[in-house]
Amino acid sequence: MHWVPVILAGVLAAVCITFGYGAPSGTTVRMVTTTNIQKQRNITMGAPGANGTMQPTPYGDENLEEPLPKDRRVTLSKEKIPEKKAQVPTKKKVKIVKTVKVMKKLKAEKPSTKSQGKPCPPLGLESLRVFDYQLRASSTKRYGLGAHRGRLNIQSGIYDDDFFDGAWCADEKNTQQWFEVDARRLTRFTGVITQGKNSIWTYDWVTSYKVQVSNDTHTWKTCKNGTEEVIFKANKDPETPVLNHLPTPMVGRYIRINPQTWFENGTICLRAEIIGCPLPDPNTVFMWEHEPQPTDKLDFKHHNYKEMRKLMKDVNDECPEITRVYSIGKSYLGLKMYVMEISDNPGQHELGEPEFRYVAGMHGNEVVGRELMLNLMQYLCKEYKKGNQRVMRLVTETRIHLLPSMNPDGYEQAYKLGSELSGWAVGRWTYHGYDLNHNFADLNTPLWEAEDNEEVPHKFPNHFIPIPEYYTVANATVAPETRAVIDWMQKIPFVLSANMHGGELVVTYPFDMTRSYWMAKELTPTADDSMFRWLATVYATSHRIMAEDNHRICHTENFMTHGNIINGADWHTVAGSMNDFSYLHTNCFEVTIELSCDKFPHEVELPMEWENNKESLLLYMEQVHRGIKGVVRDKDTEKGIYEAIIVVNELNHDIRTAVDGDYWRLLNPGEYEVTAKAEGYHPSTKSCRVTYENHATICDFYLTKTAKQRLRELRANGKKLPKELMLRLRQLRTRKFKSLSPK
């Protein structure tokens, strides 16, 4: 009498569709034959099993837009309802559905005559769209392992403690435990993603589970494949996300994950994300939180390498008078590192106009910055054409450079897995295995050693610190992406920059490396600490989420106690960071912006990420005009002096002039004594006042050549020495002789 459920399972499986989550478009249809299904094992309730597979359905299905009928069962159009026959009592059968572990996107095929509908997005456990009060559990081991910690990719601290651990963990080990999510309205649930516990001390994960759905939390319906309850195969390690599609979408407000088996040496712990589409519900009285709707018509989607390149070309075609696309180098796999330049005179450095850069995608799986850069270039182009005065002023007074993808190889690796399945680390490193934020030359150590020996600034510079020889050899462990960025930094006199990251909500500023090398974290400020704190504060206080007084923390750190800014070394030490290198080797001030708790959010989240960051992106760029600027010229020829040094009294960090003699020195409002000096010239000092106005104070310098310099130039040109110069040199020699003679 076992043929009835087998036939039903075969018919249902025949209409299942495999959908590669995160694929650009379309679906791939795979048919499961009755022969294959007959090979699957029937087992008793709760027993583990490993045989047989069931191909998943797509997230979307236009035939399932309405709630289930009263009999709580959906009848598919091709399903045959068998006649009722007397049956011999048998054990309850359970279907084991093998893990759907998506390791690459399936190629899209043309849809059939009827559209299959758009795939459902995640509810937002990882992105925090789901609030803590929407999560419940049957039991909790302790508060730090409560239901509120059962979010996909949530991270624990270094030590397991009572507040911020890396999963929900049940207090008991039995099959009656559950993790529940309240979607707050009727939702068509289509899939579940699970992970184990994030911890360096224990190993805990769920290996199989059931799924249950309810409208009222009293009556629960278990996910079935025909007449058989489904047990989904779950995780094999703590970190790899595993996606299971429901054989048939289920409609309800609440969904539970009911663990059946778990790692034999661990306990019941999981992190999860739920996939589902909210259904229209005119009777709901729930007051939804206010979220601003984007008014900018931008391309809100994830762009792979080819799509990114096409978008940048389209922006350049739309605004050729203010844009230029160029490449600074290639990745290990040969992908070009494209930059979008936005300026009223693209391709040229204009005297007195500061250079600004945004860098995103240093870690390939932290994608919010990448999409923000693409949105920003579209926005600046469109608003400039509309005559937006703020944008026009920014474009005409600043030369802007946007690098959306510093690690294109890593991004492509994460993109293939998709937004929910790339996990916490896939794509972070380059193809060759480098973490680019630890790959720049360590210039902090030689500077601090020179300071300890009192050699700064007379014997050792406090700026433009040379790159060590070991770092420049051909076989040095330096990524090609890092070399390309360093070369870029050296060619263009950048003044201000920001480095986009993801996985937290905070802005960090240099130094990133602790001065005490044995310390994991330690406050390590620069000479320009007050300026860096201002720059970080500008972004944090204008960011829509960071500006909230009581927003939920992402993982373990409550950065609200610091105003959502922190000294990088006081968070965790990073040797060889791009921020520190930029500050010590060039004139450029740079901060790191952690943009979002979710490193790789679903594309439905991208419009909101743009709204969260749009004002911050614009306001931060405008800070490049804060402080003083000017040109250092030769008094006789009025030509600019290259590499003249600008010294600000009481600030132990100098800068240098660009090729044309122009400079920019970021400073907070106040009165400063500034000195310009250059080899072969007498130094010149003047007082420069920085106001609260949003433009730099002009402080120009004219330097006079020393007698020795004039002598060198005359001798080099083979000319006769003037009498005045000969007299001056004689006086200098006499003065030097008297100072050396004994008294």
pLDDT digits (tens, 9 = 90+) for 640-670: 999 999 999 999 999 999 999 999 999 999 9
* Residue 63 shares a structural domain with residue 48: yes
In a domain? residue 602: yes
* Residue 209 shares a structural domain with residue 331: no
pLDDT digits (tens, 9 = 90+) for 549-567: 889 999 999 999 999 999 9
User: What angle separates helix 723-740 from helix 707-717, to the nearest 10 degrees?
Assistant: 130
625, 649, 673: which is the final residue of a domain?
Answer: 625
Residue 416 — φ and ψ, nearest 5°? -65, -35
Mind giving me the DSSP string for 304-327? -HHHHHHHHHHHHHH-TTTEEEEE
Q: pLDDT category, 286, cuts 50, 70, 90?
A: low
Predicted local distance difference test score (pLDDT) of residue 591: 99
Whole-number Å distance between alpha carbons of 157 and 167: 12
Predicted local distance difference test score (pLDDT) of residue 162: 66
Segment 477-504 mean pLDDT: 98
Q: pLDDT category, 726, cuts 50, 70, 90?
A: confident
* Residue 700 shares a structural domain with residue 658: yes
Largest CA distance in the chain: 128
CB 60 within 8 A of CB 120: yes
Q: pLDDT category, 714, cuts 50, 70, 90?
A: confident
Is the omega angle on the peptide bond into residue 464 within 30 degrees of 0, that is, cis?
Answer: no
CATH number of 599's domain: 3.40.630.10
* Residue 615 shares a structural domain with residue 649: no
Which tokens hold the place of 554? 């992402």
Q: Which of 67-71, 164-168, 428-432 has the lowest mean pLDDT?
A: 67-71
In a domain? residue 344: yes
* Residue 571 shares a structural domain with residue 642: no
- Residues 355, 594, 605, 609: which is the catalytic one? 594
Q: What is the chain's mean pLDDT, rounded?
A: 85
The residue whose two tokens read 């996985």 is: 503
Q: pLDDT category, 285, cuts 50, 70, 90?
A: low
In a domain? residue 286: no
Predicted local distance difference test score (pLDDT) of residue 158: 78
Mind giving me the DSSP string for 174-190? STT--EEEEEEEEEEEE
In a domain? residue 662: yes
* Residue 76 shares a structural domain with residue 130: yes
Predicted local distance difference test score (pLDDT) of residue 44: 32
Q: Annotated catalytic, 594?
A: yes
Say how many domains are in the chain: 4
In a domain? residue 164: yes
* Residue 34 shares a structural domain with residue 156: yes
pLDDT digits (tens, 9 = 90+) for 3-17: 434 333 443 343 333
* Residue 315 shares a structural domain with residue 208: no
Answer whether residue 629 shows pLDDT above 80: yes
Q: Which of 37-51, 251-265, 449-463 has the lowest mean pLDDT?
A: 37-51
pLDDT above 70 covers a percentage of the chain that reads: 81
CATH number of 145's domain: 2.60.120.260
* Residue 506 shares a structural domain with residue 582: yes
Residue 485 — φ and ψ, nearest 5°? -70, -40
* Residue 599 shares a structural domain with residue 652: no
Answer whether residue 470 shows pLDDT above 80: yes
Predicted local distance difference test score (pLDDT) of residue 711: 78
Whole-number Å distance between alpha carbons of 372 and 618: 12
Q: DSSP assignment, residue 100?
A: B
Answer whether residue 92 shows pLDDT above 50: no
* Residue 61 shares a structural domain with residue 190: yes
In a domain? residue 548: yes
Domain limits for position 23:
3-278
Predicted local distance difference test score (pLDDT) of residue 36: 38
Whole-number Å distance between alpha carbons of 470 and 562: 38
CATH number of 661's domain: 2.60.40.1120
HEC assignment per residue over 584-652: HHCCCEEEEEECCCCCCCCHHHHHHHHHHHHHHHHHHHHHHHCCEEEEEEECCCCCECCCCEEEECCCC
Whole-number Å distance between alpha carbons of 440 and 621: 24
In a domain? residue 501: yes
Which tokens hold the place of 708? 């020795």
Whole-number Å distance between alpha carbons of 502 and 491: 28
pTM of the model: 0.81
- E-strand ranges in 147-268 read 168-169, 179-195, 206-214, 221-222, 224-225, 228-233, 242-262
* Residue 93 shares a structural domain with residue 209: yes
